[in-house]
Amino acid sequence: MAIFMAGLLAVAPKSGARETFEVSASSATVDLAPGRRSVRPMPAAPLFMDAEIRPNRSLSRRGFMILIAVVTAANVAAALVFLSQGAFLVPIFMGIDVLAVVVAFMANYRSGQMVERVQVSPSHVKVTHEAGGAVRLVWESPTAFTRITREHDEEDRVMALGLALSGRGTPVAASLSPGERREFGRALEEAIWRARRHRD
C-alpha cells in the first residue's frame, strides 16, 4: 500500500509554521517538496502547497518487460500451431494483436511516469505535468479568484476534483482514489484560503 503524503507549506507570516498531514492511500503517492529544497530553488513567493502526485505503477520496468515477453512468446507459440495446420492468415492477425497490446501497455506505462505538481502561492495556483525531464504548464490562475470544483456520486464519494475560473477549468488529482481525492481537496482548499489571507 502506498502512502499518500499531502501537506500544506503553510508558511505563516509571523511564525513560519508548517502544517502537514498523512493518510493511507492505495492508488497514488503525493510527495511534498520540502525535502527537495536542495534540488529545486525556492521561489520568491511563499508556497502554501507544493505537492507532487505520482500514480503508482503495479509493474516495475523489469516486470513490464517480462509481461511483454510472456505475451509475445504465448502468441508466437500459438501462431506456430496454426501454421503447422496450414492456417497462414491467423498468425498475421495474432501478430497485429500482439503489437496492439504492446503499444497499449507502453502508453499506460509512460502515463504512470508522469508527475502532477500542484502549487499554491499568494498570487497564483499552478498545475504542471512533469515527465521525462519535460515540464508542461497545465493551469495557472489568480489565487484570489480560483475555485475548487467537486463531482460526487450517489454515495457522496468525490469522483472528480478540479480548479475553475471564469468558465474554464482543469481536473486535478485524477489518479487518486475517491477518499484520497477528498483529503487532497480539503488540503488544496485550505492552502488557497491561507494564501488569500497571507496576501490580504
Tell if the pTM clears 0.85, that is, is over it: no
Which pLDDT score, from 0 to 100, does residue 108 have? 67
Fold of 3-57+116-199: PH-domain like (2.30.29)
pLDDT (tens place) for every residue of the chain, 200 residues total? 333 443 333 333 333 333 333 333 334 545 544 444 334 554 567 899 999 998 776 666 777 788 788 888 888 888 888 888 887 788 888 888 888 877 877 776 666 678 899 999 999 999 999 887 788 999 999 999 999 999 999 999 999 999 999 989 999 999 899 999 999 999 999 999 999 998 66
Three-state DSSP string of the chain? CCEEEEEECCCCCCCCCCEEEEEECCCEEEEEHHHHCCCCCCCCCCCCEEEEEEECCCCCHHHHHHHHHHHHHHHHHHHHHHHHCCCCHHHHHHHHHHHHHHHHHHHHHHHCCCEEEEEECCCEEEEEEEECCEEEEEEEEEHHHCEEEEEECCCCCEEEEEEEECCEEEEECCCCCHHHHHHHHHHHHHHHHHHHHHHC
Residue 192 in contact with residue 72, Cβ under 8 Å?
Answer: no
> What ranges do the domains of the chain cover?
3-57+116-199, 61-111
